[in-house]
Structure 1
Amino acid sequence: MQETNRLKSLAELAAEIEGSEIAYMLDRMAAIRDRPGNPEGIEIARVGQAAGFYSRTMPWATFNTVKGLRSGDADALAEFVDFYRSRERKPQFELVPGLADQGLMERLSGLGFGQTGFHTSMAMTAADALHAGPPADELEIRPLREDEFELYAAVHCRGTGLPDSGIAPVAANNRVLYDRPGWRFYVALWEDRPAGVAVSHMSEGTASLTFAATLPEYRGRGIQTALLRSRISDAFAAGCGLVVGQCAFGSQSHRNMERVGMRVGYVRASWTER
């Protein structure tokens, strides 16, 4: 009985983590969709409790993925596949351990999909937070101002390897989040120069660390760890009981998250069309 209760609590935690990821994606994509004329061609498909996200102009998996599938949702898969194929887009399906059963995977395989990767979701409570000393004297973390989204987008693009041609659309797609409840943007300054940015979203007592980037020339100075600590501290101060984030398993981001007290919630499977 004790082991059954433990497994149940792990499944409940997984559902809570994924629910936070779905909540911020729904709000983010809806805000971008509601820009005049819907310039990014955003659509959101809902089948049962699962959500499928699509963008006409942004072909990356982040913006064309299905989240929230559960054991017993095999019949919903064909609807999602038809939704994306009618738009000539190959989607990504995310399956969470303990929430997706063999039948779901067999149906995905029958539709021409296979597992092509993993991604890690991290989590922590206030009790998990590790004590930290002050950041380096050269470093300042502060909220991003409303008139700084060009700055934000420049760091976003150059920190992730996107070309500067992406600065204008990235600025526009994030500016619409500024006044929406739950969203917070941060900028890290090294000797008063922009060096990193980060974003979080809070909803129903859970905070998601949705994005962070550091300019290449400023890496290795503890900037991402400081941005993590700032967002986590603000989340707990705002009354959140859980903080979650995503990273590639074993990556520098993974190590940074463990450094501040976060632990692996689950490693989800990514399925794409063969």
Structure 2
Amino acid sequence: MNWLLIVTRALAERLEQSEIDYMISRVNAIGQREGNPMGAEVRQFGGATAFYVHEMPWGSFNTVKGVREEHIDYIDEIISFFRERSRSFQFEITPANSSSELLSYLTDRGFRQSGFHTVLYGMPNAEEEPAYAAGIAIRELKADEFELYGKLHCLGTGLNVDGAGHVADNNRVLYDQPGWRFYIGFVDDQPAGVAVMYMHNSTASLTFAATIPAFRKRGLQTAFLHKRCYDAAIAQCDLVVSQAAYASISQNNMERAGLRIGYTRAVWTSHS
């Protein structure tokens, strides 16, 4: 059996690094927009990486990844980094990096666990092109279609469609960045959803996918999964990584598509 099918510490570290890599690429690209209008920053604290985006107050864009026990001496500095920016944030802690010393230190600083998030993985296979449910079609997004991308992104995630232009701008900057691919999906010839993938160091991260409500339960999300996994294999990636809310429909779809659970990471937030 291939070692990649078994969860080892080495595999867990590779899964986590894939998330760090795509977030560094994404947030740095957002920060390179003229004048940095979103207020994006990436900061290293030892081996931990902090992400901050002023105009995106959500936890996923104001977070610390890769933190472990040997970074305890940096935690107060990390907390100060976000407090200077008046921003709530989260620490993401994987089982492989967890320790009683680290968790006790975070507790002493007013943090506690507030949730879990599932990380899944699989080995892409290029032996057979994916087949989709009836009425489903997928192709790569064109450079001049980001306004449509922004609208589908917002409708698929429940964001106000008035923000579609901002979503478009923050993703358009990734289009020509190495490793990024954007997809648009159709149901009965109607634009119905979008998906994104980032490839780096032979690892493909399935970073985003959403279907607008009117076209759900038609198989588009499963099709997005199979399409990206196939393209990852063609691009010589030997690992696919994705994330989902624990026991969510997204996680269920990923498992049905052949991905397996690598671990559930803990989310720690401040309650002081």
Q: State whether TM-score is above 0.5.
A: yes
Partners of 1:45 and 1:27 lie apart in 2 by 13
1:71-220 equivalences in 2 (<5 Å): 71-126=69-124, 134-220=131-217
Residue 122 of structure 1 aligns to a residue whose secondary structure is strand
Question: Which residue of 20, 23, 26 corresponds with 1:22?
Answer: 20
How far the C-alpha of 1:70 sits from its partner, in A, is 1.8
Q: Can you give the 5+ residue segments of structure 2 that lack an aligned partner in the other structure?
A: none
Partners of 1:218 and 1:130 lie apart in 2 by 29
Q: Which amino acid aligns with 1:34?
A: Q
Query: Bigger shift: 45-54 or 24-33?
Result: 45-54
Q: Which amino acid aligns with 1:273?
A: S
Residue 146 of structure 1 aligns to a residue whose secondary structure is coil
How far the C-alpha of 1:193 sits from its partner, in A, is 1.1
Partner residue in 1 for 2:257? 260
Partners of 2:36 and 2:145 lie apart in 1 by 23
Partners of 1:213 and 1:92 lie apart in 2 by 24
Q: Which amino acid aligns with 2:14?
A: E
Partners of 1:156 and 1:133 lie apart in 2 by 24
Residue 70 of structure 2 aligns to a residue whose secondary structure is coil
After TM superposition, the score normalised by the length of structure 2 is 0.95
Partner residue in 1 for 2:60? 62
- Superposed CA deviations along residues 126-182 of structure 1, whole A, max 9, x for unmatched, are 37x998872133111000000000111101001100001210100000000000010
Tell me, yes or no, if the aligned pair for 1:52 and 1:80 is still in contact at 8 Å. Answer: yes
Residue 8 of structure 2 aligns to a residue whose secondary structure is helix
Partners of 1:27 and 1:263 lie apart in 2 by 25
- Superposed CA deviations along residues 60-82 of structure 1, whole A, max 9, x for unmatched, are 00110000112221111111100
Partner residue in 1 for 2:39? 41
Partners of 1:118 and 1:266 lie apart in 2 by 10
- Superposed CA deviations along residues 26-75 of structure 1, whole A, max 9, x for unmatched, are 00000000000000001111111111011111110011000011222111
Partners of 1:137 and 1:221 lie apart in 2 by 8
Partners of 2:35 and 2:136 lie apart in 1 by 40
Partners of 1:132 and 1:175 lie apart in 2 by 28
Q: How many residues align?
A: 268
Partners of 2:76 and 2:225 lie apart in 1 by 39
Tell me, yes or no, if the aligned pair for 2:149 and 2:184 is still in contact at 8 Å. Answer: yes
1:224 paired with 2:241, answer no
Residue 147 of structure 1 aligns to a residue whose secondary structure is coil
Q: Which amino acid aligns with 1:242?
A: L
- Superposed CA deviations along residues 88-145 of structure 1, whole A, max 9, x for unmatched, are 1111100000212111111111111000000000001137x99887213311100000
Partners of 1:15 and 1:33 lie apart in 2 by 27
Q: Which amino acid aligns with 1:186?
A: Y
How far the C-alpha of 1:201 sits from its partner, in A, is 0.1
Partner residue in 2 for 1:245? 242
Change beyond 3 A, Cα 1:9–1:226: closer
Task: Determine what percentage of the aligned residue pairs are the same residue.
Answer: 49
- Superposed CA deviations along residues 197-256 of structure 1, whole A, max 9, x for unmatched, are 000000000000000000000000000000000000000110001000000111110111
After TM superposition, the score normalised by the length of structure 1 is 0.94
